[in-house]
Chain A
Amino acid sequence: MSLSRFFRSTGVRFTLLYVVLYLLSNAILLGALYLTETARLDEDLRVRVDSRVESLVSQYRLGGVTALVDDIAMRTRNQIKLRTFYRLTDARGRLVAGSLPPFPKEESWRTARVESGKEGREPATVLLRTVHLAGGEWLTVGMEPVQHEAIDRLFASAGIGVLLATLLLGVSIGALLSTGFLRRVDRMTSAVEDIMRGHMDRRVESRRSGDELDRLAASLNAMLDRIDFLMTEMREVTNSVAHDLRTPLSRLRRRLEEARQASLGNADADRALDLAAVECEGVLDTFNAILRIAQVEGTASAASFGVVDLSELVATFDDAYRPLAEEEGRPFDVTPGEKIAVRGDRELLTQLVSNLLDNALKHTPPATPLRLALERQAGAVRLVVEDRGPGIPEAARKKVFDRFFRLEASRTAPGNGLGLSLVAAIARLHGANVALEDAAPGLRAVLTFRK
Chain B
Amino acid sequence: MKILVVEDDGDTLSYVTRGLGQLGHTVDAVADGREGCDRAMRGIYDVIVLDRMLPELDGVSILKNIRVAGIKAPVLFLTAIDGINDRVAGLDAGADDYLVKPFAFSELAARVHALGRRPALTNVETVLKVADLEMDLRRHMVKRDGKVVELQPREFKLLEYLMRNAGQVVTRTMLLEHVWDFHFDPRTKIIETHMSRLRSKIESGTGVPLIHTVRGAGYSLHEPE
The answer to whether the Cβ of B44 comes within 8 Å of any Cβ in the partner chain is: no
A 382-419 to B, binary, CB cutoff 8 A, 1 in contact else 0 = 00000000000000000000000000000000110000
**Which of A163-171, A289-297, A369-377 is found at the contact surface with chain B?**
A289-297
Q: Which of A321, A350, A351, A414 contacts B187 (CB 8 A)?
A: A414
| Cβ contacts under 8 Å, B9 to chain A | 247
A253 & B85 in contact (Cβ 8 Å cutoff): no
The answer to whether the Cβ of A358 comes within 8 Å of any Cβ in the partner chain is: yes
B181 & A351 in contact (Cβ 8 Å cutoff): no
* Residue on A nearest B105 in the bound complex, by CB: A257
B81 & A291 in contact (Cβ 8 Å cutoff): yes
The answer to whether the Cβ of A204 comes within 8 Å of any Cβ in the partner chain is: no
CB distance from B186 to the nearest CB of A (A): 5
Q: Which of B11, B83, B85, B184 contacts A251 (CB 8 A)?
A: B11
CB distance from B110 to the nearest CB of A (A): 14
**Among B85, B102, B104: residue with most chain A CB under 10 A:** B102
B84 & A304 in contact (Cβ 8 Å cutoff): yes
A304 & B85 in contact (Cβ 8 Å cutoff): yes
A254 & B184 in contact (Cβ 8 Å cutoff): no
Q: Check A250/B82 contact, CB under 8 A, given A304-B88, A320-B182, A361-B188.
A: no
* Residue on B nearest A326 in the bound complex, by CB: B193
* Residue on B nearest A354 in the bound complex, by CB: B186
Q: Could you tell me the distance between the alpha carbons of A258 and B22 in the complex, rounded to whole angstroms?
A: 12
Number of A-B contacts (CB under 8 A): 76
| Cβ contacts under 8 Å, A329 to chain B | none
CB distance from A109 to the nearest CB of B (A): 105
B82 & A358 in contact (Cβ 8 Å cutoff): no
A 422-440 to B, binary, CB cutoff 8 A, 1 in contact else 0 = 0000000000000000000
| Cβ contacts under 8 Å, A247 to chain B | 9, 102
| Cβ contacts under 8 Å, A358 to chain B | 186-188
| Cβ contacts under 8 Å, A294 to chain B | 82
CB distance from B172 to the nearest CB of A (A): 13
A295 & B82 in contact (Cβ 8 Å cutoff): yes
Which chain B residues (131-190) contact chain A, with CB distance < 8 Å? Answer: 152, 154, 180-184, 186-190
Q: Check A324/B189 contact, CB under 8 A, given A254-B105, A347-B183.
A: yes
**Among A291, A319, A323: residue with most chain B CB under 10 A:** A323
The answer to whether the Cβ of B72 comes within 8 Å of any Cβ in the partner chain is: no
Q: Which of B85, B101, B197 contacts A250 (CB 8 A)?
A: B101
Q: How many residues of B contact A (CB 8 A)?
A: 30
B105 & A320 in contact (Cβ 8 Å cutoff): no
A254 & B188 in contact (Cβ 8 Å cutoff): no
Q: Could you tell me the distance between the alpha carbons of A246 and B180 in the complex, rounded to whole angstroms?
A: 28
B182 & A354 in contact (Cβ 8 Å cutoff): yes
| Cβ contacts under 8 Å, A420 to chain B | none
Q: Which of A246, A254, A320, A347 contacts B15 (CB 8 A)?
A: A254
Q: Could you tell me the distance between the alpha carbons of A291 and B101 in the complex, rounded to whole angstroms?
A: 12
A246 & B102 in contact (Cβ 8 Å cutoff): yes
Q: Could you tell me the distance between the alpha carbons of A439 and B88 in the complex, rounded to whole angstroms?
A: 39
Q: Could you tell me the distance between the alpha carbons of A257 and B105 in the complex, rounded to whole angstroms?
A: 8
The answer to whether the Cβ of B25 comes within 8 Å of any Cβ in the partner chain is: no
| Cβ contacts under 8 Å, B194 to chain A | 320, 323
Q: Could you tell me the distance between the alpha carbons of A247 and B15 in the complex, rounded to whole angstroms?
A: 13
Q: Could you tell me the distance between the alpha carbons of A291 and B184 in the complex, rounded to whole angstroms?
A: 14
A351 & B184 in contact (Cβ 8 Å cutoff): yes
The answer to whether the Cβ of A316 comes within 8 Å of any Cβ in the partner chain is: yes
B154 & A319 in contact (Cβ 8 Å cutoff): yes
Which chain B residues (6-38) contact chain A, with CB distance < 8 Å? Answer: 9, 11, 15
Q: Check A292/B102 contact, CB under 8 A, given A316-B180, A320-B180, A323-B194.
A: no
| Cβ contacts under 8 Å, A292 to chain B | 81-82
CB distance from A311 to the nearest CB of B (A): 15
A257 & B104 in contact (Cβ 8 Å cutoff): yes
B82 & A324 in contact (Cβ 8 Å cutoff): no
| Cβ contacts under 8 Å, A254 to chain B | 11, 15, 105
The answer to whether the Cβ of A284 comes within 8 Å of any Cβ in the partner chain is: yes
Q: Could you tell me the distance between the alpha carbons of A321 and B181 in the complex, rounded to whole angstroms?
A: 14
Q: Could you tell me the distance between the alpha carbons of A274 and B217 in the complex, rounded to whole angstroms?
A: 13
| Cβ contacts under 8 Å, A257 to chain B | 104-106
Q: Could you tell me the distance between the alpha carbons of A295 and B79 in the complex, rounded to whole angstroms?
A: 14
A291 & B190 in contact (Cβ 8 Å cutoff): no
Q: Could you tell me the distance between the alpha carbons of A415 and B186 in the complex, rounded to whole angstroms?
A: 11
CB distance from A361 to the nearest CB of B (A): 6
Which chain A residues (318-341) contact chain B, with CB distance < 8 Å? Answer: 319-321, 323-324, 327
CB distance from B203 to the nearest CB of A (A): 16
The answer to whether the Cβ of A303 comes within 8 Å of any Cβ in the partner chain is: yes
Q: Could you tell me the distance between the alpha carbons of A85 and B130 in the complex, rounded to whole angstroms?
A: 140
B190 & A323 in contact (Cβ 8 Å cutoff): yes
Which chain A residues (341-375) contact chain B, with CB distance < 8 Å? Answer: 347, 350-351, 354-355, 357-358, 361-362
The answer to whether the Cβ of A288 comes within 8 Å of any Cβ in the partner chain is: yes
| Cβ contacts under 8 Å, B188 to chain A | 321, 324, 357-358, 361-362
CB distance from A180 to the nearest CB of B (A): 48
| Cβ contacts under 8 Å, A295 to chain B | 81-84
CB distance from A289 to the nearest CB of B (A): 9
Given contacts A254-B105, A320-B180, A321-B190, 11 further A-B contacts (CB under 8 A): A247-B102, A253-B102, A254-B11, A257-B105, A284-B102, A292-B82, A316-B181, A320-B154, A320-B190, A323-B197, A362-B188
18 contacting pairs across A/B (C-beta < 8 A): A247-B102, A250-B102, A257-B105, A258-B15, A288-B81, A303-B85, A319-B180, A320-B182, A323-B194, A324-B188, A324-B189, A324-B190, A347-B184, A350-B183, A351-B184, A354-B186, A355-B186, A357-B188
Q: Which residues of A contact B (CB under 8 A)?
A: 243, 246-247, 249-251, 253-254, 257-258, 274, 284-285, 288, 291-292, 294-295, 303-304, 316, 319-321, 323-324, 327, 347, 350-351, 354-355, 357-358, 361-362, 414-415
